[in-house]
Structure 1
Amino acid sequence: MRIDIIYGTRPEFIKLAMLIHKLREYGQEVRVISTGQHKEMLKGLEEWFNITPDITLEVMREGQSIAQLSAALLGELSCLYSEEKPHWVVVQGDTQTAFVGAQAAFYHGIKIAHVEAGLRTYDKRAPFPEEINRQMISKLADLHFCPAVSSSQNLLEEKVQEHLIEVVGNTVLDALEYSREKIKAENLFPLELERYFSGEKQTSRMVLITTHRRENFGEGLEQICKAILHLAAANLEVDFLVLLHPNPQVKKTLLDYLENKFPNVDLISPLTYSDFLALLQRSYFLLTDSGGLQEEAPSFGKPVLLLRELTERPEGVVAGCVKVVGTSLENIVSEAQKLLDSEADYKAMQVDRNPFGDGKSAQFIVNRLIHEG
């Protein structure tokens, strides 16, 4: 049996890496296809997990629209599957790579397995275009590997047959367990940020901030920046580290608002996966609009203030380790200040067990794929 695994972005690869290893461990023929959506961000990551793509597509063009990217992906993958068909195509999450990968497989009569299936906000523009991508993949997929019971319930309500759904937890925790062991064994941390680990700032409280969602472009992102400035001015003893996303629009806004404004606001370039995990572990809490960080941060006991109006990952909110604060300056400042001022509020957002799984998801997926044949 041959299985094609398609990824294009950094989060997709992280969440598929241990599945690739586990399938090969069980003797399955795996062809790894990278579409290169995050080409530069994937280089060190593939080395970290010791995975080399068998096929790399060159679909990215400067300034291209989502429609242009989708058309390029569909053309390349259709040509690929016209030549040779695997038994399964595995896609992950909600990216253009995942959606178009499933679409191309469907057109060629290839079975589709969707990892991290069933997440929903039911607002087609939040997150955009990811919410619709997920819903469309669910219409195409033959197996749905859900991270939680709530996501499986969404699929059941959408009339997906129960025997095609399996709750396996989130594969990001498989990658996290693998990576934490390597980081600890090799004592890894970002050398350019050594001051936060062994230098003059090693005892400071540090708030880690990431933002990149399209629905926050414009006023939402500007409100986030203003909130950071407000917090920095009111808490000069706290460091605020802002990760500069490579998206030009996001990067420009962050630089325009935050660069050289306060000595305790530090703008940092994108980090390797291992360095970022080390920084996550070092942080006090997170301000983020990321999906994956909602899942990873609880394993480190780090509260998450979510810079979005909705989340398709309700488990963190229910468990109390994630709080949805939106992009209002007043809300962000109020909730962040609570965590900085109140030890009780901070501890209330720490959990003993990650609500998103136990790091054994890849094994469950492999068992089912081999059983289905």
Structure 2
Amino acid sequence: MKKVMIVFDTPAEAIRICPVIDKLKQMQYTPVVFIPKQVETAGIMDQILALFGVEPSYVLSAALESQTLNQLTAYALNELSNTIKQEQIDATIVCGNTRIAFVAALASYYNDIRVTQVLSPAGNGEATSAFFGKNTDALMAPLAANRVFLGLETALSKTTTLPLDQLPITNSDTKRIILFDYHGKSNQRSILEKSFQAMKHITNTYKEVIFVIPIKLTTLVMELANRILKGQKQVYFVKPFNILEYQSFMRRAWLVMSDNTHCLEEAQILGIPALIMKNPGNNGTRQDQGVGTAINFSKVQLVDWMERLLLDAECYETITKRPSPDPKTQSIEQMMDLLFQNS
């Protein structure tokens, strides 16, 4: 059987690629899984691997954190090259634009091994994790024979069935749960103040609405919550979600409000409208994307859109059916056909 080395780095990449590993076994390929050990994400990465039944073949040591970047890169390049030769790898799949993805692609290129780069259709996390910033694409181009976009449909069929015990919500099946998915700095008083005011207006008027806010409870957050939302039994503050908790919660959500487009892929697959909020002072344009609707970060806009969706079922349904503008995703079979074409 042909051996395929699969290299990934982050929990988000793990969720996307783990279903591929299982599928490869069914297709009579032998996956060789290579990951770096990350101290800060080790716990959640272990949970994801266990959920999908994936056991890494090789783990790059976490004891190298004190090394310089060039030492780490040289070490990883050597380890990956040795793995390719020892395992007699036939092809490589790398995920995203992280350092380990670039080094794995380079090691494969040096050993005349075909490389496919797997990306998120929406580019979720790609910009922030890029090893060389905007130059990563240009550097990866000569190393990766193919670039494919894999969706989360298969992964979500498993992660969204996980229990989520930390939410103290009762009778949630009869409620319209709105996820307030805020990624900005928690000390941005004006933005949080306007958002909490909009929540107060909605919960005073619509008793079936529940807000869930996964956020670090800083002094500012607590002060604003006590001043604006005190006594509001329809607003729940919870600790920030990890990626498994986030995807598990998404199946319960009726609406997502976020200042970041990273939620759009899950929302698109699950058919949940998302209000993508931008600061009115930001002149940058952000167009509607599939189920995502761009609005200004103001109390008036927030209340107006939430009420529109609450009162107009047709408007809600129309948004849930808007097609995604992202690149078309490939199936695993199509990815493998590309990887081994003309080989």
Q: Report the TM range for the smaller structure's normalisation.
A: 0.7 to 0.9
Letter in 2 for 1:8: D
Cα displacement (A) at 1:6: 1.2
Distance 1:291 1:58 in 2: 33
Task: State the partner residue of 2:251.
Answer: 281
Letter in 1 for 2:151: T
Task: State the partner residue of 1:53.
Answer: 56
SS at match of 1:340: helix
Cα displacement (A) at 1:280: 0.7
Change (3 A) 1:367 1:109: closer
Q: Is the 8 A contact 2:116 2:147 kept in 1?
A: yes
Task: State the partner residue of 1:74.
Answer: 73
Q: Quick one: which of 134, 137, 159 aligns to 1:135? A: 137
Q: Is the 8 A contact 1:231 1:337 kept in 2?
A: no
Cα displacement (A) at 1:36: 3.5
Q: Quick one: which of 335, 339, 363 aligns to 2:333? A: 363
SS at match of 1:4: strand
Cα displacement (A) at 1:276: 3.4
Distance 2:340 2:19 in 1: 16
Distance 1:285 1:353 in 2: 17
Q: Quick one: which of 324, 332, 349 aligns to 2:294? A: 324
Give CA-to-partner distance per residue, 1:210-250, whole Å, 9 cap, x none: 344xxx5588x666534432322322344332334xxxxxx
Distance 2:186 2:166 in 1: 30
Distance 1:310 1:94 in 2: 25
SS at match of 1:20: helix
Distance 1:323 1:79 in 2: 46
Task: State the partner residue of 1:171.
Answer: 151
Distance 2:128 2:120 in 1: 17
Cα displacement (A) at 1:99: 3.9
Letter in 1 for 2:336: V
Q: Is the 8 A contact 1:297 1:303 kept in 2?
A: yes
Question: Normalized per residue, which structure has more helix?
Answer: 1
Distance 1:222 1:91 in 2: 40
SS at match of 2:115: strand
Q: Is the 8 A contact 1:92 1:116 kept in 2?
A: yes
Change (3 A) 1:178 1:346: same
Change (3 A) 1:69 1:12: farther
Q: Is the 8 A contact 2:256 2:272 kept in 1?
A: yes
Are 2:274 and 1:304 aligned? yes
Aligned residues between the structures: 313
Task: Report the TM-score when normalising by structure 1.
Answer: 0.68
Are 2:5 and 1:4 aligned? yes
Q: For structure 1, which runs of at least 5 residues remain unmatched after alignment? A: 148-169, 245-250
Are 2:270 and 1:267 aligned? no
Distance 1:349 1:57 in 2: 44
Q: For structure 2, which runs of at least 5 residues remain unmatched after alignment? A: 279-283
Are 2:306 and 1:339 aligned? yes
Q: Is the 8 A contact 1:207 1:287 kept in 2?
A: yes
Change (3 A) 1:295 1:72: farther
Task: State the partner residue of 1:23.
Answer: 24
Structural mapping, 1:119-158, within 5 Å: 127-128=127-128, 130=130, 132=134, 135-136=137-138, 138-147=140-149
- Aligned-pair identity in percent equals 18
Q: Quick one: which of 39, 42, 55 aligns to 2:42? A: 39
Supply the RMSD in Å over aligned alpha carbons.
3.8
Letter in 2 for 1:364: Q
Change (3 A) 1:82 1:138: closer
Cα displacement (A) at 1:92: 1.9
Change (3 A) 1:43 1:232: same
Distance 2:121 2:106 in 1: 17
Higher Rg: 2
Distance 2:122 2:139 in 1: 11
Q: Quick one: which of 113, 116, 125 aligns to 1:113? A: 116
